[in-house]
Structure 1
């Protein structure tokens, strides 16, 4: 059985400062760094010593820092991929959340949602965001490594899970997979039918 562990990076400075994240390159907080240790220990308990293992991470600092802790504990070097970044919010990044809220144009209840213009200069559409994450998932899915870890961002997890399940991007106009900071999402593929499962979404028991 192949298992993919998807990590939403733990608490970072922009969370506590009330700033827009996206590609804004904030570090983990002290609590986030402690959570990264807990994540690493939880993964060590689930992945046998000596098992084949690959570790992929967004190149943004908050994800890199978490991936470094995980990599040290599991003795694997993270592979950084900018395509695993959070959605870009363009000129809103690093600004107060209220700044974004006042300008944000919500998607329509009916109609084009993935390619909707949110009204923020330089921001990615959800379609552009999804295409980027799907492209990052292509080589990961082609690998036959029995254990893989991806350290990414809360918004990106929808597209990581959907790519794992081979859902077409256009099916995600409404669907979202939510996983909070520091959570572990577990995905399995069996060796016989090669069916893929979403086993656990956004698990946080290790943080308690």
Structure 2
């Protein structure tokens, strides 16, 4: 029998990584947090004190996992990995800056700016399976923790896909 108790989800984007600082596209690459990112995680942990989180779920990619570990340790909350919280795989543009993308993949750069809905990146994860995995993991987390408060530490693309799912975007 399904519970009608509401699960409160705290959606948390990882702190700044070394690649964020260098303006590199990350996708499923695994750069660590930098000092700024670790500080962001500590400040968020301070802000979350008293929220009575039951658990934190996190993408196993280092930037999200480190963020979750910092928060979890500060709050005494367990951290659970889930592969499905990984960022969208951006294929061949992983690790590149916008300038490098414009040089190497001018069609990708143009579509990203002008027609993002028709964008195709060589080697990328397909959009529909990505959105499906994101919707599934958040649905399972919410069902598993009915009536509780849960933190989810993930990535901008992952969190954006979930929010899109909530408001019915295709």
TM-score by structure 2 length?
0.82
**Is 1:18 equivalent to 2:23 in the alignment?**
yes
Question: Is 2:7–2:142's contact at 8 Å kept on the other side of the alignment?
Answer: no
Name 1:60's counterpart in structure 2. 61
Q: How does 1:63-102 map to 2 (within 5 A)?
A: 63-102=64-103
Of stretches 138-147 and 79-88 in structure 1, the one that deviates more from structure 2 is 138-147
Name 2:154's counterpart in structure 1. 152
Q: Deviation per CA, 1:45-93: give whole Å up to 9, x if none.
A: 4x14xxx612110110000000001111121221111211111111221
SS at 2:157 equivalent: coil
Of stretches 27-36 and 92-101 in structure 1, the one that deviates more from structure 2 is 92-101
Q: Aligned in 2, Cα 1:98/1:3: closer, same or farther, shift over 3 Å? A: same
Distance 1:107 1:16 in 2: 21
TM-score by structure 1 length?
0.68
Distance 2:142 2:150 in 1: 10
Distance 1:97 1:108 in 2: 11
Distance 1:43 1:135 in 2: 26
By relative contact order (CA 8 Å, sep 6+), the higher-ranking structure is: 2
Unaligned runs of 5+ in 2: 1-5
CA deviation after TM superposition for structure 1 residue 30, in Å: 0.3
Name 1:43's counterpart in structure 2. 48
Q: Which has the higher helix share?
A: 2
CA RMSD after TM alignment: 2.4
Unaligned runs of 5+ in 1: 173-208
Q: Aligned in 2, Cα 1:108/1:98: closer, same or farther, shift over 3 Å? A: closer
CA deviation after TM superposition for structure 1 residue 150, in Å: 0.3
